[in-house]
Structure 1
């Protein structure tokens, strides 16, 4: 990493445009758009396959969207971006095998009524009757150009121009699973209940994502889809979920009061964004790592994450715990704490920060879903039954790696300082400078109460950006600007592909700080450079490593003393 240096954020070579997106992603797009959709998809899929076959250490995901390929990388593992870029471009000049996918899928849809709450509005917008809308929507053979937004969500190209409908000015906070929507020039299906900004015209019971299948998404780029009208209602669920754990082990905790948005999280999952599955994991990764490190757990051990109000927990075994992240006025954080069988821990309201992390020596035991324990609530997958914890839930505790602790030490509270209001978040801007960019970096903005693990929403209204016709890959840290002018900073549970214009990307080093912002906090955005973003991320990693070395020393002393 000493050789990492700033390079041009946009270059063109061999007909391929390379553009760095924030400090953790690179986009590859075609300088000249092929004449046919099939040729474009084949070229993009070939680019994605060529990059995957390189097996470059540090590449986490390769995502195909309708007009580009996005590569997500770890700045800590990519030694030199210039060398990385050269290897990729060298691979792209070699002949590539065409993708083999291209299956035809027939999908039944119930149009209008409760199944399609925007059906009548779309009819009025285009001055057509309901029969014509259904006929126009079912006539084409659509092509899957990308999978994203949420797991299994297909972006379908081929919508008749007479049905093209702008996205909603303000996204819905809840779209029912199976909803069929229109967004701009595309149509698609929401596999899970999730927020969304497309006009909903119908609903289907077809399952579009199942984590036990390989690949987990039903559709792949290049597949074809035909819709047909039906009135049949399938009573079976239209997607797989994580089953509720059964039974208990001798070592476990019981949730007496769940708090707010208390979920099981680890450091998230990588490698599945191409199927629309986001990283999830702890929103404040640094705090989760510290809580585990204090107890000698692996960094990726499962912890409990809570928001503003912590749970009340009863322990059914003797164990050691640690609390990190958001703080309250009565509990010690950043230190090992001994608890006895029958003890009750009341975490209560947090006084500073937003998200707290409760770790237990040995970690919490829940089933792995796509290589992670993390809860992803929009799809009801992972964690404890794919949901936030409820009163009466029981969570098993694993075998600790360290069994003897000194509890007389703690980390300094300023090891990872919580944000104060106003809080500065550093960004890498995107696109040409506009009135919206200038307003965002010159006007403080306030966090709204509608913020969650999918994104932080801000009060105020920025000048609009030109609408985008095609969706593209987005990441934690992406700042989207919907038509209502209220920016959204995407977090760990956010969609993998989105269609709203993008203002820029909060740098990776500042995402833990962003995750600790509370409703009402004031945020100031400040521009930085790619080189500085990588330097700051490395500095944060080095500080964390130094702290972990100190913890290891303390744990070693504890073992000798006791």
Structure 2
């Protein structure tokens, strides 16, 4: 067992290098042990193929050495290697339509293996697969047991969109995409089965340790099963908002969503923490109106929305500059409209409203999970005519502004601090001297960069393991991807480095064409600046509370993270 850092708020326990049932049983047992006796400061843990990710709050661990020792002691307890049942349960049958539009890479896989397409289908559908982990996307099952002759490297350039239900092969692994999402696996078919439903308990249909068998079906049966699955899914929309108590979306802006401090405890079912991409900006805005730091507000990208308030409200803006004052409380009267235009600087803007935006709590959070289509307002970006609920809280505008020094050094050319990743030694260190530019393909999942190709020395296919916001992955095309708030939970590309948490807001505010450089620091340095930022936010909350510009509680705690 080896413990390595996964950025400045997580560690990974490496329990083996093979994808086999013995290692999988050890992973499941280790997760159970950590969940039963969590070390002080642990937020959540979950398993991958041969590793366990353990997330923690640096403000609550005392010291990293103490926390790491506690994790290793718990994971290494005598019974941690005891597996689950020796016999696999009855396989869960997954119907699959192979080839054609449903499986655009089937022909390429057949050519790669020297088999016919029919032989590939027969061999893929023959085994009972063991589910090693749920990750990458909500409900996504990582399966072991793929016949060796069907192994195929991941695509050199990941697709920007893989259809929901797609069955894919990446290296020696196979799995199913529950939702439409970017992905780099070779797609050979599609299933109509619903693998994740946030209204179901548990939301993921499959779990680590389950067994799966694929059953080939024709187009007619696929269509019938898809129609039946659609009828069973929850279709109810958001609750109606009483007249005179809402926030109307007059103009939606670009990618405007409800976001909060994130949802925690669900990574084991493939649900990312999510939340505001520039978490610091939303926390500041919430502090300015007296909310807890993780309260739900609005986030938008490049172009701001136009919002009409049906009741008096106290609001605050933070993040990028969209033409209205930031960094102070603003009173809005009933019937008044806030008009936010295109970004003057930065990429993402944030609006907090005193009392928050009380949309439904889904899996412990109110933020919009775009990959899973749940949370926020109907699980999607806002549209013209939407009406969000408000908790009316009176207040008055302030003539003062927050000291600008509290904000990160937002700019269109930034240098961010990083910690070395697990595969850092496979790359020449001169990447730290290079500049990379942000591409238009960037989104809340990751910042896709372009620059001189990064060539790693190792050629072996990696076993997928936990990732986190800030992880810098290097796909085969050599163009790095920095994972952001909506990052998947498990990834298989080399991990070059991890951006420290305090500097993630700088990346969230970069626009296509902006540039970024990287500078390596130590874990102690990362924790020191994290704690210093927490102290600054605490003083901000207390200072605003003393001003008396709102009624209610001052900033307390760090929002929803336990």
Q: TM-score, structure 2 length as denominator? A: 0.92
Q: How does 1:514-525 map to 2 (within 5 A)?
A: 514-525=507-518
Partner of 1:5: none
1:500 correspondence with 2:487: no
Distance across 2 between alignment mates of 1:326 and 1:72: 29
Q: Judging changes above 3 Å, is the alpha-carbon distance between structure 1 residues 73 and 205 closer, same or farther for their aligned structure 2 residues? A: same
The offset of 1:433, in angstroms, is 4.9
**Cα contact 1:295–1:320 (8 A) shared by 2:** yes
Segment of structure 1 superposing worse, 385-394 or 84-93? 84-93
Q: How does 1:522-541 map to 2 (within 5 A)?
A: 522-541=515-534
Flag structure 1 segments of 5+ consecutive residues without an equivalent.
1-15
Structure 2 counterpart of 1:223, from 185, 210, 217: 210
Partner of 2:441: 450
Partner of 1:338: 331
**SS at 1:41 equivalent:** helix
Distance across 1 between alignment mates of 2:392 and 2:59: 30
Structure 2 counterpart of 1:207, from 194, 206, 214: 194
Q: Judging changes above 3 Å, is the alpha-carbon distance between structure 1 residues 405 and 332 closer, same or farther for their aligned structure 2 residues? A: same
1:374 correspondence with 2:367: yes
Partner of 1:428: 419
Flag structure 2 segments of 5+ consecutive residues without an equivalent.
553-562
Structure 1 counterpart of 2:13, from 28, 31, 39: 28
Partner of 1:12: none
Structure 2 counterpart of 1:93, from 77, 82, 85: 77
Q: Judging changes above 3 Å, is the alpha-carbon distance between structure 1 residues 241 and 518 closer, same or farther for their aligned structure 2 residues? A: farther
Structure 1 counterpart of 2:399, from 408, 414, 427: 408
The offset of 1:237, in angstroms, is 4.9
**SS at 1:293 equivalent:** helix
The offset of 1:424, in angstroms, is 0.7
Structure 1 counterpart of 2:132, from 133, 145, 166: 145
Q: How does 1:284-433 map to 2 (within 5 A)?
A: 284-328=278-322, 330-400=323-393, 403-431=394-422, 433=424
Distance across 2 between alignment mates of 1:502 and 1:154: 21
Partner of 1:3: none
1:553 correspondence with 2:554: no
Q: Judging changes above 3 Å, is the alpha-carbon distance between structure 1 residues 479 and 241 closer, same or farther for their aligned structure 2 residues? A: farther
Distance across 1 between alignment mates of 2:461 and 2:23: 18
1:180 correspondence with 2:167: yes
Segment of structure 1 superposing worse, 209-218 or 197-206? 209-218
**Cα contact 1:241–1:379 (8 A) shared by 2:** no
Distance across 2 between alignment mates of 1:242 and 1:499: 34
Partner of 1:19: 4
Distance across 2 between alignment mates of 1:266 and 1:557: 20
Partner of 1:13: none
Structure 2 counterpart of 1:47, from 19, 30, 48: 30
Distance across 1 between alignment mates of 2:90 and 2:483: 33
- Aligned-residue CA RMSD (Å): 2.0
Partner of 1:192: 179
Partner of 1:6: none
Partner of 2:560: none
Q: Judging changes above 3 Å, is the alpha-carbon distance between structure 1 residues 396 and 74 closer, same or farther for their aligned structure 2 residues? A: same
The offset of 1:432, in angstroms, is 5.6
**SS at 1:208 equivalent:** coil
The offset of 1:213, in angstroms, is 2.9
Q: TM-score, structure 1 length as denominator? A: 0.92
- The count of corresponding residues between Structure 1 and Structure 2 is 539
Q: How does 1:123-142 map to 2 (within 5 A)?
A: 123-142=110-129
**Cα contact 2:125–2:213 (8 A) shared by 1:** yes
CA displacement, residues 367-417 of structure 1 (integer Å, 9 cap, x when unaligned): 1110100101111110000000011111110243xx333522221333204
Structure 1 counterpart of 2:227, from 224, 228, 235: 235
The offset of 1:285, in angstroms, is 1.1
**Cα contact 1:447–1:518 (8 A) shared by 2:** yes
Partner of 1:82: 65
**SS at 2:227 equivalent:** coil
**SS at 1:310 equivalent:** coil
The offset of 1:263, in angstroms, is 0.2
Distance across 2 between alignment mates of 1:447 and 1:464: 19
